[in-house]
């Protein structure tokens, strides 16, 4: 029986909240940093999901989002490379619709059930942008969730599915639009959300011979907190059966939202519970999962809870607006234009910059980054083994601050990082406060954007302060 064998998540460090000057909401929402996007967050969620797994077993990766950085180029291939997965796996992007996350999850379940794959990773990630000061901006959030679908060591086995497909023009974003658009609120709610979700959930219950009392947790999509309560009540579920939608701490994370709520429900670790996740967007997917005895033994990384508890409130809405280019500041307008990256150099340096491989000398064990033909310790030539450093903890050996660099995040922090197994790298630091940086500081690596020039998204690994739940 196919099902979930591992899960993980990622929520950016920063939040807009009541303490943020200019933020006109009592709710918090997660905010991707200026160098984060749906791809970088997907990599972070993937690392969280793979924390105790053998990456060599993964033979497929499906990436779901409504905010891909490229209109024509597969993002799943970038993510698979950054996660250091095998080259002989199938990959696909599933996009353009809010229920892309559950569609990817169902596709992975079908692949494993059919026997065409054994271990498929599904990652849903979104960073949707609403018009400044509007409802969509207030209720949205940024984040990602990752699952491994398998038929081995299942922590939650598949327990049915049901899908409704309907052309519904309630929310949309055309090519070139920076902001999500929506139609008249009452129409979208009554003729879209309420009717379609009711039909999908009742269809699932009838198909599987279930009643609402059989469901332990409902991970339900909704655009905002008010309608979430109304929807759950309309569907006939008691409050204790409904998974907290986290609007007060995270917000609606688009295509990732129902999967992130599913991950949060699984963190409870209770076996023999039926969990439903319900998505919405040009129809609805309903997926059921029955937790097994393995879930109480399953280890996972930070997960939803850990990342929620390790956030930081931004000082002002202006900072967020600057990161999103909602408005230009004086410093951003004076910033020099970056040079276009060389695509041939990007390709040649994939092992070094995307997979983040160093080299371990087979003679003396010395680790070098980047990999070199000659070991600097024992001078052995062409006798080394690649080592992945992207998931290794490190400490700051030394650092500098550049207040004149052309960056939106002044000052630019550059650090020399020593990895615990060995090896050293020179890299930028992000998600940091200047007064917290110190020699010996514990850091971890995070896949981020360096710059975007001529439509080319240049990614690299940066150091971030180690995230820990408060």
Q: Where do we find the tokens 């070991």?
A: 375
* pLDDT score recorded for residue 78: 98
Q: Is 324 left (phi over 0), alpha (psi -120 to 50) or beta?
A: alpha
Q: SS3 breakdown of the chain: % helix, strand, coil, rounded to 5?
A: 30, 30, 40
Residues 6+ apart with CB under 8 A from 393: 419, 420, 442, 443, 444, 466
Mean pLDDT within 224-229: 92
HSE-CB for 432 with a 13 A CA cutoff: 28
Q: Which long-range contacts (CB under 8 A, 24 or more apart) does 226-232 make?
A: 227/189, 227/193, 230/194, 231/193, 231/194, 231/197
> Quick one: 366 exposed, middle or buried, by C-beta within 10 A (0-12, 13-18, 19+)?
middle
Q: pLDDT band at residue 111, thresholds of 50, 70 and 90?
A: very high
Q: Which two tokens stand for residue 401?
A: 């601050």
Higher pLDDT, 213 or 453: 213
DSSP category for residue 315: S
Q: Is 442 left (phi over 0), alpha (psi -120 to 50) or beta?
A: beta
Q: Which of 90, 24, 32, 29 is nearest to 63 (CA)?
A: 90
Residue spans per domain, the chain = 3-323, 333-355+390-465
- pLDDT over 90 (residue 264): yes
- pLDDT over 70 (residue 328): no
Q: What is the pTM of this model?
A: 0.95
* pLDDT score recorded for residue 85: 98
Q: pLDDT band at residue 345, thresholds of 50, 70 and 90?
A: confident
DSSP category for residue 130: P
- pLDDT over 80 (residue 242): yes
| Separation between Cα atoms, residue 227 and residue 223, nearest integer Å | 7
Tell me the pLDDT tens digit for each residue of 11-65. Answer: 999 999 999 999 988 899 999 999 999 999 999 999 999 988 899 999 999 999 9
- Please work out, in degrees rounded to the nearest 5, the angle formed at the alpha carbon of residue 21 by the alpha carbons of 16 and 27: 35
Query: Span 333-355+390-465: which CATH code?
Result: 2.40.50
CB 416 within 8 A of CB 432: no
Q: Which two tokens stand for residue 195?
A: 């009717």
Supply the Cα-derived Rg of the chain in whole angstroms: 22
- pLDDT over 90 (residue 222): yes
User: 3-323 adopts what CATH topology?
Assistant: Peroxisomal Thiolase; Chain A, domain 1 (3.40.47)
* pLDDT score recorded for residue 18: 94
- pLDDT over 80 (residue 193): yes
- pLDDT over 80 (residue 335): no
Q: pLDDT band at residue 270, thresholds of 50, 70 and 90?
A: very high
| Separation between Cα atoms, residue 404 and residue 425, nearest integer Å | 23
Tell me the pLDDT tens digit for each residue of 347-404. Answer: 999 999 999 999 999 999 999 999 999 999 999 999 999 999 999 999 999 999 999 8
* pLDDT score recorded for residue 316: 94
Q: Across the chain, what does the average pLDDT equal?
A: 93
Dihedral sign, Cα of residue 175, residue 176, residue 177, residue 178: positive
| Separation between Cα atoms, residue 407 and residue 208, nearest integer Å | 55
- pLDDT over 60 (residue 333): no
Tell me the pLDDT tens digit for each residue of 172-191. Answer: 888 888 888 887 778 888 88
């Amino acid at each position: 029986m196919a099902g979930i064998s591992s899960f993980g998540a990622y929520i950016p460090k920063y939040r807009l909240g009541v303490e943020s000057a200019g933020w006109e909401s009592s709710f918090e929402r997660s905010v991707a940093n200026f160098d984060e996007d749906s791809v970088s967050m997907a990599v972070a969620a993937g690392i969280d999901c793979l924390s105790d797994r053998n990456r060599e077993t993964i033979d497929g990766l499906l990436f779901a989002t409504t905010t891909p950085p490229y209109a024509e180029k597969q993002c799943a291939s970038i993510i698979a490379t950054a996660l250091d997965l095998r080259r002989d796996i199938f990959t696909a992007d599933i996009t353009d619709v809010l229920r892309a996350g559950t569609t990817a999850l169902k596709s992975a379940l079908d692949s494993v059930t059919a026997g065409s794959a054994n271990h498929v990773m599904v990652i849903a990630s979104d960073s949707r942008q609403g018009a400044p000061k509007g409802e969509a901006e207030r209720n949205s959030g940024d984040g990602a969730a990752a699952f491994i679908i398998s038929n081995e060591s299942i922590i939650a086995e598949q327990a049915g599915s049901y899908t409704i497909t309907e052309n519904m023009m309630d929310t949309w974003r055309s090519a070139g639009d920076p902001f999500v658009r929506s139609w008249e609120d009452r129409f979208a709610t009554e003729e879209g959300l309420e009717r379609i979700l009711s039909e999908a959930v009742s269809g699932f219950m009838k198909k599987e011979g279930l009643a609402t009392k059989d469901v332990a947790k409902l991970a339900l999509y909704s655009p905002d907190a008010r309608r979430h309560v109304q929807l759950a009540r309309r569907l006939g579920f008691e409050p204790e059966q409904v998974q907290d939608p986290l609007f007060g701490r995270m917000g609606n994370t688009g295509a990732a939202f129902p999967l992130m709520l599913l991950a949060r429900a699984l963190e409870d670790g209770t076996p023999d519970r039926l969990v439903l996740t319900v998505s919405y967007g040009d129809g609805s997917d309903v997926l059921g999962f029955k937790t097994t005895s393995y879930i109480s033994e399953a280890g996972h990384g930070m997960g939803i809870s850990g990342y929620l508890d390790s956030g930081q409130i931004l000082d002002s809405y202006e900072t967020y607006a600057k990161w999103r280019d909602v408005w230009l500041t004086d410093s951003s307008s004076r910033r020099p234009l970056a040079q276009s990256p060389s695509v041939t150099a990007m390709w040649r340096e994939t092992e070094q910059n995307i997979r983040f491989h160093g080299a371990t000398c087979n003679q003396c064990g010395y680790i070098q980054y980047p990999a070199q033909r000659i070991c600097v310790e024992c001078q052995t030539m062409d006798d080394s083994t690649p080592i992945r450093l992207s998931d290794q903890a490190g400490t700051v050996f030394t650092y500098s601050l550049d207040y004149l660099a052309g960056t939106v995040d002044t000052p630019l922090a550059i650090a020399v990082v020593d990895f615990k197994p060995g090896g050293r790298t020179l890299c930028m630091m992000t998600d940091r406060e200047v007064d917290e940086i110190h020699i010996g500081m514990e850091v971890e690596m995070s896949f981020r954007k360096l710059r975007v020039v001529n439509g080319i998204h240049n990614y690299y690994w940066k150091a971030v302060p180690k995230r820990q739940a408060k």
